[in-house]
Amino acid sequence: MKQVALVTGASRGIGRAIAVELAREGWDVCINYIQHHQAAEEAAHAVRALGRRAAVVQADVADGSAVAEMVREAERDLGPVSLVVNNAGIAGQAQFQDITDEMWNRYLAVNLGGARNTIKAVLPRMISEKAGCIVNISSIWGLRGASCEVAYACTKAGIIALTRSLAAELGPSQIRVNCVAPGVINTDMVQVLGQETLRDLAGQTPLGRLGTPEDIAHAVAFLASDKASFITGQVLTADGGFVV
């Protein structure tokens, strides 16, 4: 049976690492992006270099109709989607009183609404076939909160609730839903914090380093594999011991 994965926000960083790792594990991959077309094509090239098929589809995950069309295009090019990795997200720092309505609504629309839109688009076929796997990407800040990241932390806490609730609802249809909560991962998204802050965060991590995108990709690939066939509704925290 063909294995087709759809990874949102897969042009760079954690998403790209997930796409490549899934290809290494035998998945064909649809790479979603919103802005970085060239980077998405390069990620697709890396997937194909591993002997798997790849499709590149632009869509803003906050737009439900665009997501539905993305899924239709992925299935035309690769076949039925049996794995969704909801990785697309935005982050930023601001004090609570400085969070504008526009910022608040955009964070909710992308980080939480995007996961909802993507799952909704693939779910009818998964339910019909009584098979499928969903892996959502949350954050340690969704578990413990973070000063000056209220909007982001709220959306990531929502992702955890979405994961647990959907796992209970979809279990009878043999659809597994799990979540990975990354710690501080060395990507472009965290580089804006500055090197001094990153060194401090690494120092606060019991394993003494920042995570890599590949660390998260390995966790996702495990949850998507048959080795995790009896695991659902779980949050796998990959943070080097930052939250214990």
CATH number for the domain harbouring residue 119: 3.40.50.720
Catalytic-residue membership of 107: no
Structural domain including 159 reads 4-238
What's the structural domain count of the chain? 1
Contacts of 216 (CB under 8 A, 6+ apart): 14, 17, 18, 137, 180, 182, 185, 238
Rounded to an integer, the average pLDDT of 111-132 is 98
Model confidence band, residue 191 (pLDDT cutoffs 50, 70, 90): confident
Question: Side-chain half-sphere of 113: how many Cα atoms within 13 Å?
Answer: 16
Question: What amino acid occupies position 195?
Answer: Q
Answer whether residue 160 is part of any domain.
Answer: yes
**Considering just the CA atoms, what is the radius of gyration of the chain in Å?**
17
Answer whether residue 137 is part of any domain.
Answer: yes
Tens-place pLDDT, residues 75-118:
999 999 999 999 999 998 899 999 999 999 999 999 999 999 99
Rounded to an integer, the average pLDDT of 189-195 is 80
Share of the chain above pLDDT 90, in %: 93
Q: What is the pLDDT of residue 2?
A: 59
Tens-place pLDDT, residues 133-162:
999 999 999 999 999 999 999 999 999 999
The backbone region for 176, taken as left when phi is positive above 0, alpha when psi lies in -120 to 50, beta otherwise, is beta
Is the pLDDT confidence value at 49 over 60? Answer: yes
Q: What is the pLDDT of residue 1?
A: 46
Q: What is the pLDDT of residue 244?
A: 86
Looking at 17, 152, 159, 181, which residue is catalytic? 152
Answer whether residue 140 is part of any domain.
Answer: yes
